[in-house]
Structure 1
Amino acid sequence: MGDETTAGDSSRQRSMLRRPFLGAVGACSGLGIASALGLSRTDSVRATQDDDEETDWEAEADERIEEHRTTDLEVRVVDRNGDPIDGADVDITMSEHEYGFGTAVNAGTLLEETEPGDEYHEHIPELFNKAVLENQHKWRFFEDDQDLADEATEWILEQDLELRGHTCLWASVDSAAVPEDVVSAMGREWDEGDVTDPEEDPDHVLERATEHLETIMEHYGDDITEWDVVNEAVNEPGFIRTIDGVNRGFEGPTLAEWYQRAAEIGDEYDVGVDVNDYNVLVGPNQGTREFYQDQIEFLREEGVDLDGIGLQCHFSEGNTLDSEQVMDGIDLYADYDADVRITEFDTEGGSWDDNEKADYLHMFLKTVFSHPATTDFVMWGFWDGRHWYDDAPLFYEDWEPKPGYDAYTNLVFDEWWTDEDGQTDSGVYETQAFHGEYELSASYEDESASTTTTITGEDETIELELDNEAGEDSIPGFGVGAALAGLAGLAGYAWLRDGDAETA
């Protein structure tokens, strides 16, 4: 039973204040947010699904969502004597999803190019409960400007968002993720970083990389929920090839040692260790999928218990999947006893229009959410003004919502959001609730009580006690309004009972 108190926790209050449009969404359940906001750039967000018939994939996904993402909730309202109160008003207000819905955040845009109170600052905590820094936790960026990384980290945590760590190590020289001295020690030329006369030095790469992995994980401690320890070990194996001299860098001994060390630090701070790579779901690219599974199995054989398996999911028109293919692809990674996370979703380029991209977002997000192995869905940016391909899922550069905005919010904050009220029947109010954080309240006459609770996979029974008495004239099965409406027909009810009737 939850504490009988008002919601006074500051982080919960921030969560409740994140999404001011939720009340309107709940009141207009079934209406698109786009129409409520007057979207004008496109005529219809779900142009290909205007009729009332769900496709087979969607009906199947909805069944899985009901099974894996909802819980039967029973709210019992009793008086100070523990007797049930019939007709008590009950309010169930969801404040946060258990599932992670996130976005990449650019530290420079956040702190140097925009201002507090503008759209970039406001939409991040309104639309998401999880974030990842696009660049500033990457090795070279972190060493070049740790203050910026720390300030962006602090801002995200102040918004009560979970924060992914991306990434301890990433051997992508062309993405400017590797310090110049390490690039040189890898034997690589890099004109942009003025590395023109490299000298290969595997020991230097090993020493610097190991030191940095330990430094950044210990620096942030439990501020981070999970780290991509070595990003793209399949597609960017440069560190391991330099140190171990092996072609299949995703199976190099040093990779296992780094993950073992990361797991030790992670255990100290209760931080997860993840793998993360691209072309491991999209496509489908069967060869890359097999290599990724080889990496996961190699690490497991080396005693590494992975906490998460990241699937990047940068989609273009030519590498999309249907719902069945998405399920089959996730199934490949579902039996490794680790959370499966969509870490870098977007839909960019090509000839498909924004309505088609929104439809794809709807299908992909619903399918992913329906798979019980997944725990997170993170976009790689949400606004065209700060996106690596200038083509983010939710907003145009002028901040007008895209069709994808409606597709996303209709699912996350409407279809999968529990916000309802009603009256107890014989002291009980029952409903089905999506997993997440809630404020529950009950009132009867002049008394009320409330509590906050987290609803997860098990059936939940919450009891709220009011400081009054149910009374002998409480009529099981009738709310207060119903009892009053039928009072004339029930005039003899109290007289027929033994003893005098009491007023609740």
Structure 2
Amino acid sequence: MLRRPFLSAVGACSGLGIASALGLSSVDSVRATQDDEETDWEAAADERIEEHRTADLEVRVVDRNGDPIDGADVDVTMTEHDYGFGTAVNAGTLIEESEPGDEYREHIPELFNKAVMENQHKWRFFEDDPDLADEATEWVLDQDLELRGHACLWASVDSAAVPEDVVSAMGREWDDGGVTDPEEDPEHVLERATEHIETIMEHYGDDITEWDVVNEAVNEPGFIRTIDDVTRGFEGPTLAEWYQLADDIGSEHGVGIDVNDYNVLVGPNTGTRQFYQDQIEFLLEEDVDLDGVGLQCHFSRGNTLEPDQVMDGLDLYADYDADIRITEFDTEGGSWDDEEKGEYLHMFLKTVFSHPATTDFVMWGFWDGRHWYDDAPLFYEDWEPKPGYEYYTNLVFDEWWTDEDGQTDSGVYETQAFHGEYELTASYEGEDASTTATITDDDTIELELDNEAGEDSIPGFGVSAALAGLAGLAGYAWLRDGDAETA
């Protein structure tokens, strides 16, 4: 079944609305009622997506003599996006033997190519149960997913992310953690935090793609204020030293280092945005090689943005020579219904994907059963899909997904391909060949078949290399339609 009919069928079966039951996706029905202004934003986003997220692909098919084969069958099959589409995951659910755990594990590699631990890589959680952190990390990597590191340090005491001895040394009481008689000790905070950055980054090495080194330094500056006794903790000298340390370790392992904070895109909260820019510029002035700027994006109805506001906000961070990542997207609260949340996901995801400086879109959970507000974008607690599921899958695995086939004309088949991983096959008169390729720019791929083109061939094709001896397709690395397929 083709991907679009497949997804529409899923929508009909899951009760996502009359439009789906009639063979129309809810996305189609919404678009049918959009006014001209909404259509304008989407048309502009589609133009940017075509410019920045697709490439012209040319597949040349030649015979054993290097002559082009006219009329050869060619299949261009996408297996994975270059762009990161991810989710936060709960470590305990990942490894528990249970029915919810089974569903959870099934959906993650089907829907995403990137993940981040919701809690288990945070300081106190990691120190309290490193085995759980390691088991969950291993599971994610075994699914061939990229894994973000979140976070080396986060000074949020009330979120239970800080070890008890460090809470006490910050001079903070924490009844839930048994810290009732704290004694401030800035040197202890500095020593423990510096040691932990080195410990966790070295422990995971290149298993992690990038680390949030000091999470929420603007909104949770407790460590820096304790150590440096400064008001603007996001510009404290210790912050620069920690990022320089992380930069050195990351360079050894090929791991990126990021900043990450909230209220830096949503709102718009202009004051927090300015503080965040100040932090980024401070780190750059301290010769920190920053790889990513993380924008958390927890939306309620009251802090949503229009498409032009999203673009303007992203533009604020686009000049720092760092990747922009949406790191913690969700839409929560009872003041808007799930269809409205799904429509917002559609608009926001498409607008973000269209911005050339963005590289990742990560949800802060996808299932109500493991979501900090019990209000995730894609699934209810009973695993029934929400409207957001259809909006998400229609974009990521249909509108932005390339599965094309056709025949060569004078030995050449041309198509437009979304950036990603591909399996390419060619066949002619019982002979076939295949290869894999990463397409992120205009490219030409050549396949050689072990036969002769015949009288209608066009000699002198300029073949410089041949990819012979490849037979059959490797199994899909990241399937969208459910069941594994092989050639």
Q: Is the 8 A contact 2:324 2:358 kept in 1?
A: yes
Aligned twin of 2:51: 67
State the percentage of identical aligned residues: 83
Aligned twin of 1:25: 3
Aligned match of 1:466 in 431, 449, 466? 449
> How far apart in 1 are the matches of 2:306 and 2:30?
15
**1:45-60 matched pairs, under 5 angstroms:** 45-46=26-27, 48-51=30-33, 55-60=39-44
Q: Secondary structure at the match of 2:266?
A: coil
> How far apart in 1 are the matches of 2:387 and 2:435?
37
**1:182-197 matched pairs, under 5 angstroms:** 182-197=166-181
Q: 1:460 to 1:311 in 2, by over 3 A?
A: same
Aligned twin of 1:277: 261
The Cα shift of 1:111 comes to 1.7
1:78 maps onto 2:46 in alignment: no
> How far apart in 2 are the matches of 1:249 and 1:459?
45
The Cα shift of 1:112 comes to 2.9
Q: Is the 8 A contact 1:42 1:355 kept in 2?
A: no
Q: Secondary structure at the match of 2:138?
A: helix
The Cα shift of 1:118 comes to 2.0
* TM-score between the two structures when normalised by the length of structure 1: 0.87
> How far apart in 1 are the matches of 2:433 and 2:96?
45
* TM-score between the two structures when normalised by the length of structure 2: 0.90
> How far apart in 2 are the matches of 1:164 and 1:146?
17
RMSD, matched Cα? 1.6
Q: Is the 8 A contact 1:114 1:120 kept in 2?
A: no
- Which letter maps to 2:318? A
1:360-396 CA-partner distances (Å, limit 9, x unpaired): 0000000000000000000000000000000000000
Q: 1:154 to 1:322 in 2, by over 3 A?
A: same
1:180 maps onto 2:180 in alignment: no
> How far apart in 2 are the matches of 1:310 and 1:301?
19
Aligned twin of 1:436: 420
> How far apart in 1 are the matches of 2:33 and 2:302?
27
> How far apart in 1 are the matches of 2:439 and 2:122?
35
The Cα shift of 1:41 comes to 4.9
The Cα shift of 1:113 comes to 6.3
> How far apart in 2 are the matches of 1:112 and 1:226?
26
Q: Secondary structure at the match of 2:416?
A: strand
Q: 1:141 to 1:117 in 2, by over 3 A?
A: closer
1:411 maps onto 2:387 in alignment: no
Q: Is the 8 A contact 2:95 2:101 kept in 1?
A: no
- Which letter maps to 2:8? G
Q: Is the 8 A contact 2:67 2:458 kept in 1?
A: no
Q: Is the 8 A contact 1:33 1:410 kept in 2?
A: no
The Cα shift of 1:61 comes to 0.2
The Cα shift of 1:42 comes to 3.9
> How far apart in 1 are the matches of 2:135 and 2:152?
18
Q: Is the 8 A contact 1:33 1:406 kept in 2?
A: no
1:132 maps onto 2:116 in alignment: yes
Aligned match of 1:39 in 14, 19, 27? 14
The Cα shift of 1:39 comes to 2.2
1:115-167 CA-partner distances (Å, limit 9, x unpaired): 59821010000000000000000000000000000000000000000000000
Q: Is the 8 A contact 1:171 1:236 kept in 2?
A: yes
Q: Is the 8 A contact 2:367 2:377 kept in 1?
A: yes
The Cα shift of 1:110 comes to 1.5
The Cα shift of 1:455 comes to 0.2
> How far apart in 2 are the matches of 1:417 and 1:41?
22
Aligned twin of 2:281: 297
1:336 maps onto 2:320 in alignment: yes
> How far apart in 2 are the matches of 1:234 and 1:145?
28
The Cα shift of 1:221 comes to 0.1
> How far apart in 1 are the matches of 2:188 and 2:419?
48
State the aligned residue count.
Answer: 450
Aligned twin of 1:365: 349
Rg larger in 1 or in 2? 1
Aligned twin of 2:193: 209
Q: Secondary structure at the match of 1:32?
A: helix
1:238 maps onto 2:218 in alignment: no
1:417-473 CA-partner distances (Å, limit 9, x unpaired): 0001110011100000000000000000011000000000x2110000001111113
